[in-house]
Amino acid sequence: MTQKKPLALVTGATSGIGKAITFALAGAGHEVIALGRSAATLEKMQSTAGVRPLAVDLTDREALSSALDGEEIDVLVNNAGIIPPVVGFADMAQPDIDATLEVNLSAAIAVTRLVLPGMMARKRGHLFFTGSTAGQAPFPNMAVYGASKAAISSFAAALRCDLCGSNVRVTEIVAGRVETALYRDVLSDQARKGMYQAFDAVQPEDVAQMLLSVLQMPQHVDVTRFDILPTAQFTGGGGFAKKED
């Protein structure tokens, strides 16, 4: 008799960290629902990695709720996120503020609310949240992004307290600089290239490798949080040591 594969849901699966996690989970024997807005990218991922595409905007609660109805999710990776223009708070546009809080915080909480009761009933599950060093320490021109990540960090930690004894594990991924498309709309290509090349940024596959290690720990072990930064990035701050030539 063939055993049912564990079912994972990854948000923000079409790019960067989420894409690498999706491929890693599929490679490790999970059935993966890959969620993002880009239907074309998801279709390609379906044909190359056999993942189940779910083209949904996370801010569309109704679509989300009906798409996930009846799904028995074992692993939820709340990874989707956006970064608003990197400017002083006084210059931020209200729609950018709202979108950042909606995608980075409210949507992750909403997806968790949909998936968690099933995990609790089945007495197994693992919830991952992608936080950021920007949620652990202040960075200039990132007040709202930082607030969204500090809030998700706090949510994950408190949720874990709620879940003690339920057998559902919670892990926050505190990422430093990872080379992805995150800044594509807010920095020039040249600025992005410089930011990643100068300091040997972490690669999305590195984060995915760590996630798999955490997931594969024995059930009685919960890695509640891991920080993953470029070796040359100062912990808890925005500064970088200059790379030796």
Ligand X SMILES: NC(=O)c1ccc[n+]([C@@H]2O[C@H](COP(=O)([O-])OP(=O)(O)OC[C@H]3O[C@@H](n4cnc5c(N)ncnc54)[C@H](OP(=O)(O)O)[C@@H]3O)[C@@H](O)[C@H]2O)c1
**3-state class (DSSP) for residue 190:** helix
**3-state class (DSSP) for residue 127:** strand
Our finding on whether 158 is near ligand X (CB under 6 A) is no
Backbone angles phi, psi at 25, to 5 degrees: -65, -40
Which DSSP state fits 183? T
SS (H, E, C) 142-181: CHHHHHHHHHHHHHHHHHHHHHCCCCEEEEEEEECCECCC
Backbone angles phi, psi at 176, to 5 degrees: -90, -140
Our finding on whether 17 is near ligand X (CB under 6 A) is yes
The catalytic residue positions are 145
As beta bridge partners, residue 169 has 126
Our finding on whether 15 is near ligand X (CB under 6 A) is yes
Cα-based distances in Å from 10 to 46, 108, 230: 14, 11, 24
Our finding on whether 146 is near ligand X (CB under 6 A) is no
Strands 225-228 and 52-55: unpaired
Q: Which stretch binds ligand X (CB under 6 A): 34-42, 45-53, 110-118, 232-240?
A: 34-42
Our finding on whether 103 is near ligand X (CB under 6 A) is yes
By beta-carbon proximity to ligand X, the closer residue of 151 and 182 is: 182
Our finding on whether 198 is near ligand X (CB under 6 A) is no
Q: How many residues bind ligand X (CB under 6 A)?
A: 27
Our finding on whether 37 is near ligand X (CB under 6 A) is yes
Our finding on whether 181 is near ligand X (CB under 6 A) is yes
Our finding on whether 14 is near ligand X (CB under 6 A) is yes
Q: Among 33, 64, 68, 79, which residue interacts with ligand X (rule: CB under 6 A)?
A: 79
Q: Among 33, 51, 178, 208, which residue interacts with ligand X (rule: CB under 6 A)?
A: 178
CB of 189 to ligand X, least distance (A): 14
Our finding on whether 143 is near ligand X (CB under 6 A) is no
Cα 165 from Cα 186, distance rounded (Å): 43
222 token code pair: 């919960």
Q: Which stretch binds ligand X (CB under 6 A): 54-62, 116-124, 219-227, 231-239?
A: 54-62
Amino acid at 87: V
Our finding on whether 180 is near ligand X (CB under 6 A) is yes
Cα 100 from Cα 107, distance rounded (Å): 10
Q: Which stretch binds ligand X (CB under 6 A): 67-75, 79-87, 153-161, 218-226?
A: 79-87
Q: Among 68, 76, 182, 210, which residue interacts with ligand X (rule: CB under 6 A)?
A: 182
CB of 17 to ligand X, least distance (A): 4
As beta bridge partners, residue 33 has 9, 52
Do the Cβ atoms of 41 and 51 come closer than 8 Å? no
Binding positions for ligand X, rule: CB under 6 A: 11-18, 36-38, 57-59, 79-82, 103, 130, 132, 175, 177-178, 180-182
